[in-house]
Amino acid sequence: MNYKKKLIEVSLPLEAINRESAREKSIRHGHPSTLHLYWARRPLATARAILFAQLVNDPSSDPDKFPTIELQDRERIRLHKLIDELVNWDNLNNTALFDQALQEILDSNGGELPRVLDPFAGGGSIPIEAQRLGLLSSASDLNPLAVVLNKSLLEFPARFAGSRPVFPGLAENQSSWAKTEGLAADISQYGRALRDLTASQLGVHYPEISIGGSTNAKVIAWIWARTVQSPNPANPIMVPLVRSWWLSKKKGSEAYIVPTLENGELKFRVNRDANGPRPEEDGTIGRQGGFAIGDGTPISLDYVRKEGIAGRLGRVLMAIVAEGPNGRLYLDPSEEQSSAATVERPISVPSGSIPSNTRDFRPPLYGLTEWSDLFSDRQISTLVALSDNLKTIRHQVISDARLSGAPEGKSLEEGGNGASAYGDAIAVYLALAIGRTTDYGNALNSWSSTRETVRNLFARQAIPMVWDYAESNPFSSSTGNFVGQVDWVSKAVMNAPTRNEGVVSQANASTRDYRGFVISTDPPYYDNIGYADLSDFFYVWLRRSLQDVLPNTLNTILTPKTDELVADSTRHGSKVAAEMFFVDGFNSVFTKIRAQADHSAPITIYYAYKQQEEDASGKSSTGWHTLLSGLIASGWEITATWPVRSEMSNRMISNGANVLASSIVLSCRPRNENAEATTRRGFLSALKNELPGALRELMQGAIAPVDLAQAAIGPGISVFSRYSRVRENDGTDMSVKEALLLINAALDDVLNEQESDFDPVTRFAVKWYKQYGWNDEASGIADQLARSSDTSIAVLERGGIFSAKAGKAHLISASKLADSTGWDPLNDESLSIWECTVRLAGIMATKGADSVSQLLPAVESRVGLDPVKELGFLLFYEAEKKGDTKDAILFNGLVSAWGDLTMRAHRDLNEPKVNEQFLFNLEEQEDGDQ
Ligand SMILES: C[S@@+](CC[C@H](N)C(=O)[O-])C[C@H]1O[C@@H](n2cnc3c(N)ncnc32)[C@H](O)[C@@H]1O
């Protein structure tokens, strides 16, 4: 090894990263993801932590500064604490903290600012975090939608940082405009101007509704159902296709639609009580088909498809949602409201066909084959008007910018920052707001009766067929309105980092240049998500609105597909051909990166786990093997594998099958050109040598037991991938799959070897637990096992952990141990590590962290804390092997909170007793803040 190890190659505070990544999901305002939809974004907290740990040295790389293991451990803890603070969303504006982080990175890189590139940038999580850390951030993607999003986050905010707004009269409202405040304020104001202009042309098609007397209310949404002629020739009425009649399930304001047939004519009224349909009688259509209202004639989906393809599906207005003085009003449909929606369809609608991949795109099966078919006439007229009016607004911005003194300058795409570029930038952001409006303003948006809002189209990475849909009013001030979308965009811009302007380009990762870049990336994987196909939904609108503004980025009619790394069998002819295309393409990208990139730091690669890839043991997957084999074949040594998740760990293990992390981050180094080959035996002996130390570091770090097996693949596969080849006894090359099995077995050995360091009582209890858990067994067996462990049943019983009565014996369970009050480790004459670990795990589960941390100082003084934690790891591991989820959660709960518990314990010790009450209150407040 002739490079300095980086922190990511040794340890990471995974618990903090996972916690903040999970928390991020509930953060809405100002999160960059609110700029516009993109599929499967990585959490920012993860991206930030990974970049930092990828760029700072591990203390073992600086033996002059940290000559002993203790000093290195201490320094790692300091770096972990810094990461802990960095990942916290509340610290985003803590300039001193980010300055410190940048300084640490500079110190580890000889004072040079690293240039970081993500060649598969997507929604931009990784490059935006590189920029937030103050690095020189570059992003590229094949997909022009991704390119526009990255430019809007990385380039334009930094370029216009500090500018005063140009909207007439706005600049005077504030004495100074820091960062993106001016840009965000202009987006907001010109967005309103765009809305007003469009409303003045088309507002008449969105009439208010009378709610009694002379009072009118604004309509929030019109609830439509598609209709089909009943296949019953004796009664061929148009019947509604409805998934659910419910409008509101909110307690106290329930409402639902009631259909009636009057003289063969279908009518709807809204009932406002809680007696709506039960789930089994709700709606008229589901996955298995539907039925006709009135005579119950069955309607197959096949029939609906045929009618749809023949252009014979209709629609009918079923209900209206309006803005009432005290919340939503649910009203009967009316002829006036229904006919207001009849507008002439514009000619200049965006063109383009929906892909023929029926796994992800269902509407074409029903005759909706063009992107523009997904909108009603009224919706598409308004979108076309917004898109056309954008040009007027852009000219207005340019003229206002000139008036405020800005020079004309080059265009935005040419790198300008004058009046012309500013007008372009505002147009880009408003086009993104129009994009957001298409997501909430199409004829596939269902109405959520629990949240009383319009659901956006892309709840998943696919477009389903929707029968009854809510047409939102873009000019209301409620769900799905246009100005609301503008404000989401403006808030995302407000929070965009502005330290250095990033560099964003459209490029194929297989052919682009990597020289001078450190790489962190989240490549596409197999056929998980068809980004290009999905993006066309938005792209056709983006191009329509911005073709003059970003002519180079938006130069193709649809998003490029041929070079997209996705194993799409419809595109490549067969499953095998699709897979080959993907694997070859993927490997060639990483071969190129190996040949060209800056290797002063490892590269980091995110691998998204697909749950169905798991085998029966839940630990392995063919996709995972292919990825590792591909990287090794392209000349990489894998130096770490970190399981990261954006769900809370206990919830995940309790799901049983979902034990795996949502993704794994790998760090890789180019393998030495002259790497030696070795034999199976050589590999095993290197594993034996290196794994114990690496595991010790992993367990010392803040890692939960549930993550240990996956994290341990890192140091194991690092040994494997360091060799040019590992020869099996029969002369063939060892497969990655075999190597992973051996690594797993070695992990087992290392954990079990710890047993010999434990006291006899603990050794006995571990052996017993492995065989019988908490169950009863014959006392005779217990007696034998006790002797061979150098103890006796009497000692075990005195130790309070075992019971033997009437020929039967069992271990005392954690919950019983936790129940017994007044346990004092200082005065416990026969204390074992087993008793401490199991009691503490039980107390943690039943009484919480405070009760555990109060006991830790006494435990520390008697048996030490490390063995207690190590036994926790071992017991989790054994519980998991036995498939005992309850125990796995029990021990994971104790060990994963270890860092926090010991911190509390030491703090409690150092604080004078009189302050206890005060401390307690403080803590409560901190928790409340989160
Ligand atoms: C997993 S996504 C990245 C998501 C991103 N990390 C985020 O958090 O939003 C992968 C990206 O790779 C892009 N892509 C696919 N094939 C490509 C190619 N040949 N060259 C460049 N980008 C490609 C897709 O357009 C997609 O945006």
Q: Quick check: CB of 508 below 6 Å from ligand 1?
A: yes
Helix (H, G, I), strand (E, B) or coil at 777: strand
pTM metric for this prediction: 0.87
Q: Is the pLDDT of residue 28 over 90?
A: no
Distance CA 836, CA 817 (A): 10
Task: Name the residue with the closest Cα to ligand 1, atom 12.
Answer: 120
Distance CA 134, CA 100 (A): 11
Q: Quick check: CB of 525 below 6 Å from ligand 1?
A: no
What's the 436 CA to ligand 1 centre distance in angstroms?
Answer: 20
Q: Quick check: CB of 564 below 6 Å from ligand 1?
A: yes
Residue 423 has which token pair?
């007008």
The single-letter DSSP state of residue 511 is T
What DSSP letter does each residue of 641-698 carry, written as one string? EEEE-SS-HHHHHHTSGGGS-SEEEEEEEEPPTTPPEEEHHHHHHHHHHHHHHHHHHH
First to last CA, the chain: 43
Percent of the chain, pLDDT > 70? 94
User: Going edge to edge, which strands form the sheet with 636-644?
Assistant: 503-506, 136-141, 115-118, 518-521, 603-608, 663-670, 636-644
Distance CA 428, CA 152 (A): 8
Q: Across-strand partners of 260? A: 267
Which of 25, 118, 120 best tests ligand 1's pocket when mutated (most atoms within 8 Å of CB)? 120
Per-residue pLDDT band at 148 (split at 50, 70, 90): very high
Q: Quick check: CB of 91 below 6 Å from ligand 1?
A: no
Average pLDDT, the chain: 90
Q: Is the pLDDT of residue 677 over 60?
A: yes
The predicted model gives 794-811 an average pLDDT of: 92
Distance CA 672, CA 34 (A): 43
Residue 229 has which token pair?
């002629």
Task: Give the distance, in angstroms, between the CA of residue 882 and the centroid of all CA atoms in the same chain.
Answer: 30
- Please name which of 533, 446, 424, 497 lies closest in space to residue 190, comparing C-alpha atoms: 424
Residue 531 has which token pair?
């980004």
For 520-550, write each residue's pLDDT tens digit: 999 998 877 899 999 999 999 999 999 999 9
Q: Quick check: CB of 527 below 6 Å from ligand 1?
A: no
What's the 141 CA to ligand 1 centre distance in angstroms?
Answer: 6
Q: Is the pLDDT of residue 916 over 80?
A: no
Q: Is the pLDDT of residue 303 over 70?
A: yes
Percent of the chain, pLDDT > 90? 73
Task: Name the residue with the closest Cα to ligand 1, atom 27.
Answer: 122
pLDDT of res. 756: 83
Q: Across-strand partners of 304? A: none
For 470-500, write each residue's pLDDT tens digit: 999 999 998 889 999 999 999 999 999 998 9
pLDDT of res. 658: 36
Task: Decide if 171 contacts 50 (C-beta within 8 A).
Answer: no
Q: 251-261 as b/e, with b when 16 or more CB fall inside 10 Å?
A: eebbbbbebee
Token match 């929606």: residue? 341
Q: Quick check: CB of 607 below 6 Å from ligand 1?
A: no
The predicted model gives 152-165 an average pLDDT of: 97
- Please name which of 159, 146, 229, 878 lies closest in space to residue 531, comparing C-alpha atoms: 146
What's the 123 CA to ligand 1 centre distance in angstroms?
Answer: 8
Helix (H, G, I), strand (E, B) or coil at 351: coil
Task: Decide if 132 contacts 102 (C-beta within 8 A).
Answer: no
For 338-351, write each residue's pLDDT tens digit: 999 999 999 999 99
The predicted model gives 188-207 an average pLDDT of: 97
pLDDT of res. 644: 86
CA distances from 447 to 405, 442, 455, 457, 468 (A): 48, 12, 6, 11, 8
Distance CA 56, CA 518 (A): 13
Q: Is the pLDDT of residue 911 over 70?
A: no
pLDDT of res. 649: 41
Distance CA 13, CA 554 (A): 41
Q: Is the pLDDT of residue 617 over 70?
A: no
For 360-370, write each residue's pLDDT tens digit: 999 999 999 99
Q: Quick check: CB of 139 below 6 Å from ligand 1?
A: no
Q: Is the pLDDT of residue 913 over 60?
A: no
For 508-524, write each residue's pLDDT tens digit: 999 999 999 999 999 99
Per-residue pLDDT band at 650 (split at 50, 70, 90): very low
pLDDT of res. 910: 60
Q: Quick check: CB of 526 below 6 Å from ligand 1?
A: no
- Apex 374 CA angle, 369 and 379, nearest 5: 145
The predicted model gives 161-181 an average pLDDT of: 95
How many DSSP H helices and E strands does the chain contain?
Answer: 31, 27
Ligand 1 atom closest to residue 120's alpha carbon, by position in its atom list? 12
Q: Quick check: CB of 565 below 6 Å from ligand 1?
A: yes
CA distances from 247 to 157, 158, 225, 257, 287 (A): 41, 45, 13, 7, 21
Q: Quick check: CB of 563 below 6 Å from ligand 1?
A: yes
pLDDT of res. 661: 52
The single-letter DSSP state of residue 614 is B
